[in-house]
Structure 1
């Protein structure tokens, strides 16, 4: 029994210290998101874009994104709109054509999902008579700010090969789920995406609202066909020496799920993808980071396992509790012994860091992002409940990481860009 307790104590020390150090790192990194560099204005438009929308049965929302593209403050001759009607059984293709997009219909019952659809479309773009400097990737439920391409063009001229735009929300006030979904994106935009950009790390692709230089895409190949193709391509970029640029003023409005059930299904798919990608890229990124003293690769490796950190925190706490109680017959004495132990202190400190980020720091970030309203503040009270749901969702995702079945989220919010922004 003594040896068993020693093993558990050793494991609990490792988990406790690991969670504490990583939590401290993310807290420190987020501080660099507190400041935002002043815009130097827009550089002359010179980049041409193939704007690609991947759509599966999106007849209710497809017109909205096409109309928002048509209102872009960018020379019309420098961009074209493409819609992939992927395995559609509704009027998505017809509506997109009527709205002015170039529509390509794809039917493939074996290679399902956005990643496969994009790879199929990229190949067609490469072979077109008209060539584009870059491709942009969007979801059918998106809307884009009129300055989107001007901001991306700035970043390309600065030397970036891949740029991610600011992921905002179309419907933050609909339900407590859409509010807390939106809050998580707003916080990530400022505390991690902008922060990484400010210190010279690579930002992360967010699944939509990003643009890639065509020559870079040809050089690396897409190949990102898992459930989280954005994370997979982010890791691939970093492994090949590229960094994702961040355009904080290039806004993409995304529709958030209305119910917990819809949210659970979507986030479970994300966690399946995270588990899959991290199992294939984490150690490669760590190796690159250590052998080349590459901080960008190490940061990307940590990001790839970020959803697992909450699980690790729970494991650390459970191991510490078991370690104290297994040799103590009296529960009261066991609790006192646990709270006095160094391992418990480390675990508690890690939890306190997360608590600070959650309750004290987050409202301040929302305020400087100008996203705080009375209704959002009320919904934020439920944010701890929303955050806790990530634990079982992450566990489910890890268990089902080899399940590649694509789960489609139905979009219904037919909102016009003029409802979100003042557009001339």
Structure 2
């Protein structure tokens, strides 16, 4: 029985390790960023219908319209539409005063962005003016001036759907908004740009993307679940298409400020993920085998993300139990694969990987990166002070003292932002851990498709974020 338990946990841990290595290798491919100057030579060709999905967004609707009107693209080649979906405030009135085409939808029993977009697409298809592509935005977004130039260039290259870079317009509002921002910055670079570099399909991010009208008519939107973007991505890949990536087409998104708002939003995402995974995972696996499509396999892995999160968590718990149990649990742990020094190096590099990506994306100063680099040497310091096998109490006390030294040191500096950023980055670890209970809730409630609206309360102009 002991041998069976050991072998079973060995298989499980190694599978999880291989999945982790896959994502590590994928992310490394995002460190390289090619400068493509072709966009400047590409003449404006495509016409765009710019759709803003809005539900009670009177606070922010004028800012997104202002930024879209200010885009560096011929005015006659794009029109702005606002879908005022089941609004009970002045969203429609304010949007009309801004001089754009407003369509009010009142269908209380079919709420949510996916349903609103489906309704609006049908209206656009019936209009006298025909568009080459449709771009989607949330009401709280702000859009960079070069957005349509970048999208036009990618469409000319042959892509049918293109996702832009989703940035944050309020990273400094709280540790939650900072955590959100870090996760988006790193995902943009390590997974979106990486997939683009490898020729794989990118993932639609819910906002800041455009679709060729003909492919939309052919496949049908039909994506009315809680993560309609992921559902449509799967449909595209199953039909042999790839989502393109425009790293320089930036859309600034307002992130939730509180943990409660964040929890509800991410729970909705996980419900949608679990729902889409249950319907598309095996279809994508089948296509990957039948067509020998690595793109379909990668997309299948992406839809399986909630379950991968839980598998990784379980692997970590097993490792902690084995390493801290007095007599061990007779299970295999991943530590057995490499020597302790390799794991220390891996841990240090792992801690610094995210700050390094932030440095590449110009979201972190070189001074702060050095601070994080010095802080990451805590395990080396502990080994020198406590020996190679420190006790749990020694590790806890050592971490508290080590952290206190850095907080006091940063607190004496004139620029208090360094201290705030340091503390918030450490709290990012807590934000990451909250994905585990959120994922469990999402999987359990995947059939509950009630839409929870995130209220936006900040008026930020495009000039403030660029």
Instruction: Confirm or deny a common fold (TM above 0.5).
Output: yes
Summarize the Cα distance change of 1:334–1:160 in structure 2 as closer, same or farther, 3 Å threshold: same
Pick 1 or 2: higher relative contact order, CA cutoff 8 A, min separation 6. Answer: 1
Give secondary structure in 1 for the equivalent of 2:102. strand
2-structure distance, mates of 1:197, 1:169: 21
- 1:345 equivalenced with 2:342 (yes/no): no
Q: Measure how far apart 1:100 and its partner are.
A: 1.3
Summarize the Cα distance change of 1:320–1:386 in structure 2 as closer, same or farther, 3 Å threshold: closer
Summarize the Cα distance change of 1:268–1:348 in structure 2 as closer, same or farther, 3 Å threshold: farther
Summarize the Cα distance change of 1:354–1:151 in structure 2 as closer, same or farther, 3 Å threshold: farther
Aligned equivalent of 1:367: 359
Aligned equivalent of 2:33: 36
1-structure distance, mates of 2:344, 2:223: 37
8 Å contact kept, 2:17–2:334: no
Q: Measure how far apart 1:377 and its partner are.
A: 4.2
- 1:125-152 alpha-carbon deviations (Å, 9 max, x no partner): 1110001000001000000000000001
Aligned equivalent of 2:462: 417
Aligned equivalent of 2:197: 198
Aligned equivalent of 1:286: 285
Aligned equivalent of 1:387: 432
- 1:264 equivalenced with 2:263 (yes/no): yes
Q: Which moved more, 1:211-220 or 1:412-421?
A: 412-421
Aligned equivalent of 1:252: 251
Give secondary structure in 2 for the equivalent of 1:381. helix
Q: Measure how far apart 1:95 and its partner are.
A: 0.4
1:54-73 aligned within 5 A: 54-73=53-72
2-structure distance, mates of 1:303, 1:352: 29
1-structure distance, mates of 2:300, 2:337: 23
Summarize the Cα distance change of 1:399–1:93 in structure 2 as closer, same or farther, 3 Å threshold: same
Q: Measure how far apart 1:14 and its partner are.
A: 3.6
- 1:36-77 alpha-carbon deviations (Å, 9 max, x no partner): 111214210011000001100000000000000010000000
Summarize the Cα distance change of 1:7–1:406 in structure 2 as closer, same or farther, 3 Å threshold: farther
8 Å contact kept, 1:205–1:230: yes
8 Å contact kept, 2:16–2:312: yes
Summarize the Cα distance change of 1:344–1:121 in structure 2 as closer, same or farther, 3 Å threshold: same
2-structure distance, mates of 1:59, 1:347: 56
Q: Measure how far apart 1:185 and its partner are.
A: 0.1
Q: Gaps spanning 5+ residues in structure 2: where?
A: 366-417
Aligned equivalent of 1:26: 23
**Number of paired residues?**
410
Summarize the Cα distance change of 1:316–1:378 in structure 2 as closer, same or farther, 3 Å threshold: closer
8 Å contact kept, 2:319–2:333: no
Aligned equivalent of 2:142: 143
8 Å contact kept, 1:29–1:192: yes
1-structure distance, mates of 2:430, 2:47: 44
8 Å contact kept, 2:49–2:131: yes
8 Å contact kept, 1:20–1:346: no
Summarize the Cα distance change of 1:403–1:355 in structure 2 as closer, same or farther, 3 Å threshold: farther
- 1:209-239 alpha-carbon deviations (Å, 9 max, x no partner): 0000000100100010000011111111101
2-structure distance, mates of 1:70, 1:389: 39
Q: Gaps spanning 5+ residues in structure 1: where?
A: none
Q: Measure how far apart 1:13 and its partner are.
A: 3.3
Summarize the Cα distance change of 1:347–1:136 in structure 2 as closer, same or farther, 3 Å threshold: farther
2-structure distance, mates of 1:186, 1:228: 20
Q: Measure how far apart 1:111 and its partner are.
A: 1.4
RMSD: 2.4
After TM superposition, the score normalised by the length of structure 2 is 0.83
2-structure distance, mates of 1:354, 1:49: 47
After TM superposition, the score normalised by the length of structure 1 is 0.91
Aligned equivalent of 1:185: 184
Aligned equivalent of 1:104: 103
Q: Measure how far apart 1:344 and its partner are.
A: 5.7
Aligned equivalent of 2:156: 157
1-structure distance, mates of 2:338, 2:134: 45
- 1:94 equivalenced with 2:93 (yes/no): yes
1-structure distance, mates of 2:364, 2:433: 22
1-structure distance, mates of 2:16, 2:56: 42
Give secondary structure in 1 for the equivalent of 2:327. helix
Give secondary structure in 2 for the equivalent of 1:194. helix
Q: Measure how far apart 1:109 and its partner are.
A: 1.7
- 1:396 equivalenced with 2:441 (yes/no): yes
Q: Which moved more, 1:41-50 or 1:138-147?
A: 41-50
Give secondary structure in 2 for the equivalent of 1:227. coil
8 Å contact kept, 1:115–1:225: yes
2-structure distance, mates of 1:243, 1:27: 22
Summarize the Cα distance change of 1:190–1:46 in structure 2 as closer, same or farther, 3 Å threshold: same
Instruction: Determine which structure has more spread, i.e. the larger CA radius of gyration.
Output: 2
Summarize the Cα distance change of 1:294–1:353 in structure 2 as closer, same or farther, 3 Å threshold: farther
Give secondary structure in 1 for the equivalent of 2:210. strand
Q: Measure how far apart 1:93 and its partner are.
A: 0.4
